[in-house]
Amino acid sequence: MFKASIHSIAQRRLGRTLVLVTSIITMLLLAGCISSSKVYNNDKTVVYRDSIYNMANVKQVGSSISGKLADGTIVDLKGADKKKVTNYIKQNGEIYVKMSFTMDTQEMLYRAKEVDGYSDYNRMKKDFEKAGKQIADLMGSKKKRQLKLK
């Protein structure tokens, strides 16, 4: 009977040691999980030409490209091909092109200038599309908070 009581004391000590070690490991793992979790803030801003646009509550971002002809008619150039733009320029000599982004109800004028050749229009359009991709990247990223457009 003496041997049984020694054996049970050793088992109790081993059991207590295992519980203690398991508790310590669990606490360390929980501390590691808590400290590695990151909270991202949704305050996003776009800075363009000395203006700051708050994007935190924006639900929809759109874009528009329009042209004003010599007679005052405004035409939609979004999706216009080279032939269409070239015809407008030939007929009017030059067209006033306006490119802008709309964030819900707020408009951000990106570029507006008179264009007298397709190469000028194409250069403007490429810059506009690049800016649109940067805005989409900002809105889709959890880590990015600010975009400075050129």
Shared-domain flag, residues 14 and 65: no
Shared-domain flag, residues 82 and 51: yes
Shared-domain flag, residues 26 and 55: no
pLDDT of residue 65: 94
Boundaries of domain holding 124: 45-148
Shared-domain flag, residues 29 and 55: no
Q: pLDDT of 69-98, one tens digit each?
A: 989 999 999 989 999 999 999 999 899 999
Shared-domain flag, residues 5 and 66: no
Residue that is written with structure tokens 């050749």 in the block = 117
Shared-domain flag, residues 52 and 21: no
Shared-domain flag, residues 74 and 109: yes
pLDDT exceeding 90 applies to what percent of the chain? Answer: 42
What is the distance in angstroms between the CA of the first residue and the CA of the last residue of the chain? 88
Shared-domain flag, residues 19 and 87: no
Number of compact structural domains in the chain = 2
Q: Higher pLDDT residue, 99 or 147?
A: 99
Shared-domain flag, residues 99 and 134: yes
Shared-domain flag, residues 83 and 144: yes
The CB density around residue 111, as the number of other CB atoms within 10 Å, is 15
Using alpha carbons, list the distances in angstroms from residue 22 to 10, 19, 26, 27, 51.
Answer: 18, 5, 6, 9, 56
Shared-domain flag, residues 99 and 117: yes
- Helix orientation angle between 82-92 and 118-140, rounded to the nearest 10 degrees: 130
pTM, full prediction: 0.69
pLDDT of residue 1: 46
Shared-domain flag, residues 56 and 105: yes
